[in-house]
Amino acid sequence: MNFNLLKKELKFTYKNTILWSLLFVLFTGMYIPMSNQILSQSNNVLELINNMPKFLLESFNFSEQIFTKPEGIFGSEGMSFVYLLGAVFSAMLVGKVFADEYEKGTIEYLSVKPISRSTLYITKFTNIMINILFLNIIFTLSVVSMYAIFMEYEYNPEILLAFGIYSLTVQIFFSSISVIISILTQNNSSNLGISLSILIFMYFGDTMAKTIEATSWIKYFSIFNYIPLMETVLEEKIFWVNSLIILLISFGIYYFSYYLFKNKDINV
Amino acid sequence: MIKVENIKKYYGKYLGVEDISFKIKKGEIYGLIGPNGAGKTTTIRAMMGMISIDEGRITIGDKNIPHDLKHIKNKIGYLPGEVNFYENMRVKDFFDFNDRFYKNIDKKYEKELIDLLELETNKKFKELSMGNKKKVGIIQAIVHRPEYIIFDEPTNGLDPLLQHKLYNILEKEKERGATILFSSHILSEVEKICDKVGIVKKGKIIKESNIEEISKVSKKTITIYKLKERNKFNDFEIKEQTDSFITYLVKNDDLNSFFEILSKCSYEDIEIKRPSLEEIFIDYYRSDEE
């Protein structure tokens, strides 16, 4: 690890991460008080839900039970946004840390300074982890405190921690995907394009797989299938092991990217 | 010493370099000259470990490149052909960032270089002109007093005054004992500062020589006005002729016989030009093609 480089890396990324953290805080700050209001008028909401097509309900993680649990409304709809926004944040962060260096040619400067490519990679990896961890700590604290402040109904705080873990898992997974794409394409537009395509395929593929029988195979290729929000809320079951396996796969991808980074030609 | 031996690099099916070999002794300035696309930058990038080579061997000091590159990087100063640094960083912050990669940077020397090149360090990199960006590149490459200096087309974008300053800097680095590789497609500048030259064509070094040797085997351009007995010079190559003058290209070795014949002829005026390295270069290219 090179602290000089880490300092520069953090300086280049911290503003964006703080802005994204604010976005997450604002989002939870608006969504959770709203959840409390919805719960207090749940009869009207349940009437509406009962009149909606089943396909639509499943597509948007709507169900009667979800709307009667305090963790349910945020855990279904709110967390879906958190997943999507978090994955976009990760892809953009990695784009800035890796792809931009290739695209703007600054990787040439770094590669000739007296640090090895391994140190360069590890330092950049550390920066990505610091930013993602920071965002997710802020997010988890925000969820826990918003529930504590605004939720008048009894809820399970462990589920809230699971939301934090799931969010972290999604972001680390998509950051690992973006790193490999950044190194292979050496271009930020390609990184964002491909990473977001994978996100859309995984997220909407998983939704589709749950509602259309013929496409049910897609769910096996989606990480969202293994950290299901509905089951987590309804059964109060936290998928720790699945999260851990996804994290291990992500670090495996990071390790493979490290090998690529060390050996691939730098073409600027 | 820098030693490049028979390196070969292909980008898929496209040629990068075919067969490049040269040696640069300590305290020597070596000019790698050739047109754009000849393979100069590929050679330099391979030396800096940025691209792998398919065949051959590169040694800087006693270290094999790229395997032992990390052990010698602090002794190398590199200026890329296209200078790309962090756009939003102020020049002074960039120098601080750069300096922290090295031990014991002499800030006084850095200040001297900044003053010599008249560089404004409060500006952000994106606000600098191409010439000023190059100045930043030059300073970051030599501020740690490297033993090996590798400059890829360093005078691109520099005005003549700055070019002259750069030549002086390199001369001083040479006196200090640095081993210098200097690539260019402008041969006149290589002529000014290099001890030895390698001419690159289509990925190969087609000629390697010191500047004096190159000049020796080259030809003089001799223009004679109102020469009457043109038929006596049939053995010499004609470059251009009109009714009023005729221009011959005469090999340095044939000068005596040329002037012996000329002394017996009548003419109004004579003009002798030392060929530029560009002309010598074209000669080498032509002879290689023949």
- On the question of a cis peptide bond just before residue A114, with omega within 30 degrees of 0, the verdict is no
What's this model's pTM, rounded to 2 decimal places?
0.84
Distance from CA of B78 to the nearest CA of A (A): 7
A210: in domain: yes
Q: Which residue of B63, B97, B140 is the best one to mutate when testing the A interface, meaning the one whose CB has the most A CBs within 10 A?
A: B97
Tell me which range, B61-65, B157-161, B172-176, B216-220, is most confidently predicted by mean pLDDT. Answer: B172-176
* ipTM tops the 0.90 cut: no
Q: What is the pLDDT of residues A140-154, one digit of tens each?
A: 999 999 988 888 888
> Looking at the DSSP assignment, which residues form a beta bridge with residue B273?
B221
**Which residues from chain B sit within 8 angstroms of residue A104, using beta carbons?**
84, 87
**Interface contact B87-A104, CB threshold 8 A:** yes
Residue B279 has pLDDT above 70, yes or no: no
Inside any domain, residue A154: yes
Question: At residue B249, does pLDDT exceed 70?
Answer: yes
- Residue A268 within any structural domain of the chain: no
Count Cβ atoms within 10 A of the Cβ of residue B67 and give its class: 0-12 exposed, 13-18 middle, 19 or more buried: exposed
Lowest mean pLDDT among A15-19, B93-97, B161-165, B190-194: B190-194
Give the Cα-Cα-Cα angle A18, A84, A214 (nearest 5 degrees): 170
Q: Is residue A230 part of a domain?
A: yes
Distance CA B252, CA B188 (A): 20
- Assess whether pLDDT exceeds 90 at residue A94: yes
pLDDT at position A131:
97
- Do B97 and A4 count as a contact with CB atoms less than 8 A apart? yes
Beta carbons of A114 and B101 less than 8 Å apart: yes
Which domain, by its residues, includes A221?
Answer: 3-263
Classify residue A220: in a domain, yes or no: yes
What was the pLDDT predicted at A151? 81
pLDDT tens-digit series, residues B8-23 = 988 887 888 888 999 9
User: Is A65 among the domain residues?
Assistant: yes
Contact B69, B33 (CB under 8 A): no
pLDDT at A61: 67
From chain B, the residues in CB contact with A112 under 8 A are 48-50, 73, 76, 78
pLDDT digits (tens, 9 = 90+) for B16-48: 888 899 999 999 999 998 888 888 999 999 999
Q: Determine, for residues A114 and B80 on separate chains, whether the beta-carbon distance falls below 8 Å.
A: no
Tokens describing residue B184: 């260019």
Instruction: Dump pLDDT digits (tens) for A182-191.
Output: 999 998 999 9
**Banded model confidence at residue B214, pLDDT cuts 50, 70, 90:** low
Question: Are B70 and A8 in contact (CB < 8 Å)?
Answer: no
Pick the closest to residue A106 from A125, A124, A88, A132 (CA basis).
A124
Inter-chain CB proximity B52 and A263 less than 8 Å: yes
Maximum average pLDDT range among A135-139, B62-66, B196-200: A135-139
Sort out which chain A residues have CB atoms less than 8 A from B86's CB and list them.
Answer: 8, 12, 106
The per-residue pLDDT for B192 is 78
- Any domain includes A73: yes
Q: Does the beta carbon of B100 lie under 8 angstroms from any beta carbon of chain A?
A: yes
Q: Residue A63: what pLDDT? A: 72
Query: Between vectors from CA A98 to CA A96 and to CA A103, what angle results, nearest 5°?
Result: 80
Query: Higher model confidence: residue A43 or residue B5?
Result: B5
Q: CA-to-CA distance for A197 and A194, rounded, in angstroms? A: 5
Cα atoms found within 13 Å of the Cα of residue B210, Cβ hemisphere only: 7
The better pLDDT of the pair A133, A70 is held by A133
Domain count, chain A: 1
Residue B221: predicted pLDDT: 86
* Mean pLDDT, all residues of chain A: 89
Q: How far is B74 from chain A (nearest CA, A)?
A: 5
